[in-house]
Structure 1
Amino acid sequence: MISSRTGRLRAFTALGAAAALSGGLLAATTSQAAAEPVDAPAASQCPDPFPHTELQEGQEVTGVTNTRGTTLDPFSGTYVDTIVGGIGRGRDMLVFRLEGSRITKADGTPDAGIWSGISGSPVYAENGELVGSVSYGFNDGNETLAGVTPAEYVYGVKPTTVTPEQVSLAPARTALARQDVRVAPSASLKRIGTVRQVSGVVAGQLPSVRRIASRAGTSGTFVNGSATSKDARTYPIVAGGSVGVTWSFGDITTASVGSVTAVCQADGGTDVFAFGHPDVWDGESDQSLHGAAAVSISAGTFGSYKLSNVGAPVGRLVEDRLEGIFGRLGDLPVSVDLRTSTTFRGRTIPGSTTITETDVLPFITALQTYSDVDTAFNAFDVGGDSEIGWKIGFKRANGKGQSFARSQRYSSRAWLAEEVVSDVASDVYELLENEFEDITITSISVTNTLDASYRAYKLGKVERQVKGTWSVVKPSRPLDVKAGSRLRLRLTLTPLNRHAKVKTTTRIVSFTTSKYAAGSGRLYLEGGAYGWRDHDEYEDFDEMHDDEDDEDPFRIYPSAPRTLDAQLKLMRGIQRQDQVVSVLAHRGRNTGRLVNTKSTLQLPSIVEGETRYAIRFRR
């Protein structure tokens, strides 16, 4: 379960060297790295902090990190100087020249440099005390100069009190783009990237992931990575070893992977300090912690990266601060189970993802749905037809459980996978961001039936039956209708274009007009897919569903909701794309009150088009 008390969805930035990659793409193997024996760290798992103000120029240090499997390998370094306030106000940065562990080659020449994923690796003084964690680099190449976060700051991330379970999450987050301290592409100070690995999509479709993320209120740099689950292999959490922080895990795993700085036994539990810089700078957090195994270090001219496999969840992230992250082993975070079922050509593909970060619920729901369609079609840039339904379980502010369900139909010649995510992700967003109650989403389920055919109608001619004879109705001429009589219309639906696999068909719409109707009125015929392709962003609920035309005096529009129940009613009433809605509008003879009578036709395919007709009522 996840509380909605988080304000607006935040935009995040996956910081570090990943942003410098051309195109931001990185393909990582998803095969499990063999679990190897863990070497003993160079010092205690929880050493005392070394006073960083006592460092002397040329002082030698050692450290441990992880470049393959779960084996720890050493590196060494020499203290250069301190940048006063280099991390932030009142927070100094220690500068070391490092070598070993893929930073340099055996002959001391640069290899991968300060690679992404080394962040958090502990640096020890000769007496075994913790100097700090390797957390910053100075350019995007194979530079061996590193910025180290002092141990005093790293340990200071732990809060005074750690509760066994934190249900409430942090308040609204803000965009992190402005936090990047890079000042020049060739020589700059930057956090060593904790790459946001995403499973469930192939490398060629990472641009789609970015588009979906943007539409769902999330942004950032994504790379391909391995999936993990609750029953995956458990990798050890040790100083210098790899650690992952995930928003979600399962079919869609979204993990930042870095290194552990220290593991301490305290307060009856096991504390984990890592990264030496923020993940996304949430402050209080409640994501899941995972051990990880390194696959390899990918060295490049514009940045080097650790590829890794993320293991099963072993704890939860508690604090995400400027000086590093702090977590606790044993207690897992509260979460939402997302379950999907996608059927194509008689084969049903189940989907399962556990989500622990509130702000990305719409994004992960959309990404799982997108991945399901791609997996079912097993082809790129595919069009077709989708009938999709979803159910969102949630708990009201009074503790009462409730659910919201809706369905929709989509059909397109291409990119169907991106189109089908729109409504389900939007509904998750609207529930989280409702202005009336703090609700807790408890579950999300999605069922999707796919067909390879593109099927789409458009509204064609409209005929009216008078004394048994059908005649074409022209929008340019008002319809004369006797108050209290029956208005019977025949709608012709034709293929939207030559690619649409539908046949021309007709449907009947019938209204019994009020005997109190008087003066002029209006008839509206609207296909549910009218104007759909122009909708490209998730918007606020009032903007997305309020199409009021100030110049139209005959339409009755719903009032802005004032309660959660009213908002849910509006959401349930959103027109499906495979429906034609007819509205007959008139005013009362004596009262002048406006009346809208609605009729809905259900079609087997989406329908585009809109038309309206003027009506004159006579007695």
Structure 2
Amino acid sequence: MTIAAAAVTTFLSGIGLAAPASFAADPTVAPIACPDTFPTAEAVDGVAGVGWTVERGTRPSSFTATVLGRVTDGIAPGVDMIMADLDSPALTRAGGVWAGMSGSPVYAKDGRLIGAVSYTLGMNTSIAGLTPAASLKALLGRQSETSKVVKGTERVAVPARELDALAATREVTEQEAASTGFRRLEIPVTVTGSATAARKALSTSGRGVGGLRVVSGGASGTTSAAAATEVVPGGNFAVSLAYGTWTAAGVGTTTMVCDGKAVGFGHPVLGFGVSANTAHLADAVYVQRDEVNGSYKVANIGGIVGTVTSDRTAGVMATLGEGPKAVPVTSRLTADDGTVTATTTWCTEPYYVDRAAGFHLLSSIATVQGADASGGSAALTTRITGVRGTGTAFTLTRSDHYGAVRFLGEEIAKPVMDTVWALADTSLENARITGVTFSGSVSETVRQYHVTGVAVRKGSSYVTVPKVITAKPGTTVRVRVTLGDLGGFTTKNVVLAVPVPAKTRGWTGSIDLALGSQGLDLSASSYAALLTSLRNAPTNDLYLGELTLENPSTGRVTRSTVSRRLNGEVTPYTRTLRIRVG
């Protein structure tokens, strides 16, 4: 046995692999942790190679690769895309290259790395595009300008001179290859938590990211550390935006591991350049064949193995060891029977902290109620901490009531997400969120009201509101609002006592009624004003009356507000009552 063969055999034994029989005569095609690079210019039609990826579990299996040519500058200026035809029993079962193969290393017969699977020629085909090895290795030390490119090409057109080679595979015709081109492989995103949170993940409020495909939901993602030695070329590699009660993690493949750093995916996850996301192991459950949208890997997210510090055109690079500092999202909710449910999600991507907070809460409420779509009511206090661009810490605390006949969790999660988003994603200051906590109670009893009538006190009784209310200076106008529940089974009356100032005879104006939340006012011109606006924004359980009076002779205006709170949510309602002081 040669020294090279002995070294590879030792490596395989260390990761629990045996060299496949079909490659026994040339063991150097097995996975190599930190391989030499195969020159991109030598990746020409007919070059044979062997790749490694995981179909099921954690153990990589091999596939063959035949280079078909290159697309010059196909991925980015200075970064060619290598075309290859792949083959293996797993690829046959899947109907071609699947989402989740991103980063799968492909080696030449001498053990040098040709590149990593990163593109595919349409749906359900075995023809893949590879990111060249030189660009992948540059991620380790930023050795070339190509590693600094953040925005690459999501679709690659096939030059006319390369169409013959693609058509010769009988996977596609020249016309199909020309019209379709290569597209960047989608990243299957494993989302855990409630089914509703999984369904809505990464698409809320139009802030989704292309290339991420939510494929599964399940148990909460792990928060424990795993051994970095389990990160191997050809093995599963996951990058999470958040993990814990609500987990969102993209699954790909490790390309290489060099000196405590791992490279994977062969294309961006988010493409933000400098990154601080969490690197995880993953356990592939199966590859789902999908004839319509393309096959994809379903995986459970494993332990934390490091920090993704670079997310660029050629792939992602993680420093193995400790995970990054994360924003904690915690909740402590009490059910009708007194049971307390405490949950935590950790978010490492600032761009997603609003969704991490909302989907964590959505999942926690589903856990308390034992159902995703249940109605009910909740009394909740939300506390958001952060640091302003000036370096000053801030805390925003809001308490409110919520109610819904169905989908209580969604009713609560949406305004929470909007509030966190308003604080984190603003041009006013470069602020960051440091924590979000929820505490309160959740009930399956619906407490939600709507306005069924308005009356005004006249003498000892309430009467229909006249076109113009007449009041004397220094007296009180009593406005009665009748509320009914959504089923119409019960009603309750609430009274607003609106004082009329003295010395306002002859003044005219209005009493503006506002019940329930009227939405967030994000028109603030400074961050301090934004915090004040959010702190003072009307809540769902608030009803108020604002009196505005104007002196018709001088134009002088006076305003006053009275308010009360309910033990439940009121659907939004506004009405203006005219008043004259006589």
Q: TM-score, normalised by structure 2?
A: 0.83
Bigger shift: 214-223 or 83-92? 214-223
Q: Deviations over 1:573-617 (max 9, x none)?
A: 111122211111113588533221000111122234332221112
**Does the 8 Å contact 2:197/2:359 carry over to 1?**
no
Q: Does 1:294 align with 2:284?
A: yes
CA apart distance, 1:101: 5.6
Partner of 2:423: 431
CA apart distance, 1:365: 1.0
Bigger shift: 47-56 or 504-513? 504-513
CA apart distance, 1:356: 0.4
CA apart distance, 1:192: 2.2
CA apart distance, 1:102: 0.7
Q: What residue identity is the alignment partner of 1:86?
A: G
Root-mean-square deviation over aligned CA pairs: 3.0
Q: Structure 2: any 5+ residue segments left out of the alignment?
A: 1-13, 20-28, 159-175
Q: Does 1:359 align with 2:351?
A: yes
Q: Distance in 1 between matches of 2:369 and 2:457?
A: 45
**Does the 8 Å contact 1:216/1:362 carry over to 2?**
no
Mapping of residues 322-401 of structure 1, within 5 Å: 322-345=313-336, 346-401=338-393
Mapping of residues 28-427 of structure 1, within 5 Å: 37-38=16-17, 42-100=30-88, 102-104=90-92, 112-141=95-124, 143-160=125-142, 179-180=154-155, 187-202=180-195, 206-209=198-201, 213-215=203-205, 217-219=207-209, 221-226=213-218, 227-231=220-224, 234=227, 236-265=230-259, 270-302=260-292, 303-345=294-336, 346-427=338-419
Tell me the secondary structure at the aligned position of residue 38 of structure 2: coil
**Does the 8 Å contact 2:239/2:250 carry over to 1?**
yes
**Does the 8 Å contact 1:234/1:311 carry over to 2?**
no
CA apart distance, 1:354: 0.4
Mapping of residues 596-607 of structure 1, within 5 Å: 596-607=559-570
Partner of 2:550: 587
Q: Percent identity?
A: 26
CA apart distance, 1:292: 1.6
Tell me the secondary structure at the aligned position of residue 60 of structure 2: strand
Tell me the secondary structure at the aligned position of residue 526 of structure 1: strand
CA apart distance, 1:201: 2.4
Q: What residue identity is the alignment partner of 1:189?
A: F
**Does the 8 Å contact 2:549/2:559 carry over to 1?**
yes
**Does the 8 Å contact 1:391/1:403 carry over to 2?**
yes
Mapping of residues 422-571 of structure 1, within 5 Å: 422-465=414-457, 469-476=460-467, 478-483=468-473, 485-497=474-486, 499-500=487-488, 502-516=490-504, 518-529=506-517, 544-545=520-521, 561-571=524-534
Q: Does 1:613 align with 2:574?
A: no
Q: Deviations over 1:29-50 (max 9, x none)?
A: xxxxxx9935588143111111
Q: Distance in 1 between matches of 2:505 and 2:419?
A: 38
Q: Distance in 2 between matches of 1:92 and 1:463?
A: 75
Q: Distance in 1 between matches of 2:404 and 2:365?
A: 13
Q: Distance in 2 between matches of 1:78 and 1:465?
A: 87
**Does the 8 Å contact 2:94/2:288 carry over to 1?**
no
Q: What residue identity is the alignment partner of 2:126?
A: T
**Does the 8 Å contact 2:472/2:500 carry over to 1?**
no
**Does the 8 Å contact 1:392/1:405 carry over to 2?**
yes
Tell me the secondary structure at the aligned position of residue 187 of structure 2: coil
**Does the 8 Å contact 1:65/1:73 carry over to 2?**
yes
Q: Distance in 2 between matches of 1:333 and 1:232?
A: 12
**Does the 8 Å contact 1:36/1:69 carry over to 2?**
no
Q: Distance in 2 between matches of 1:274 and 1:305?
A: 17
Q: TM-score, normalised by structure 1?
A: 0.79
Q: Deviations over 1:466-501 (max 9, x none)?
A: 5x522414242x122222x1214141423154x156
Change (3 A) 1:460 1:257: closer
Partner of 1:4: none
Q: Deviations over 1:42-83 (max 9, x none)?
A: 143111111121234322212222223222222222222222
**Does the 8 Å contact 2:245/2:364 carry over to 1?**
no
**Does the 8 Å contact 2:116/2:130 carry over to 1?**
yes
Q: What residue identity is the alignment partner of 2:55?
A: T
Q: What residue identity is the alignment partner of 2:366?
A: D
Change (3 A) 1:53 1:461: closer
Q: Deviations over 1:340-373 (max 9, x none)?
A: 1222222222221000001111111111111122
**Does the 8 Å contact 2:31/2:234 carry over to 1?**
no
Bigger shift: 124-133 or 457-466? 457-466
Tell me the secondary structure at the aligned position of residue 67 of structure 1: coil
Q: What residue identity is the alignment partner of 1:66?
A: V
Q: What residue identity is the alignment partner of 2:187?
A: T
CA apart distance, 1:253: 0.9
Tell me the secondary structure at the aligned position of residue 139 of structure 2: coil
Change (3 A) 1:410 1:517: farther
**Does the 8 Å contact 2:498/2:547 carry over to 1?**
no
Q: Distance in 2 between matches of 1:263 and 1:418?
A: 42
Change (3 A) 1:565 1:42: same
Change (3 A) 1:251 1:216: farther
Tell me the secondary structure at the aligned position of residue 90 of structure 2: coil
Q: Structure 1: any 5+ residue segments left out of the alignment?
A: 1-34, 105-109, 162-169, 536-543, 547-559
Change (3 A) 1:316 1:475: farther
Aligned positions, number: 531
CA apart distance, 1:329: 1.1
Q: Distance in 2 between matches of 1:298 and 1:261?
A: 22
Structure 1 or 2: more helix by fraction: 2
Q: Distance in 2 between matches of 1:218 and 1:614?
A: 46
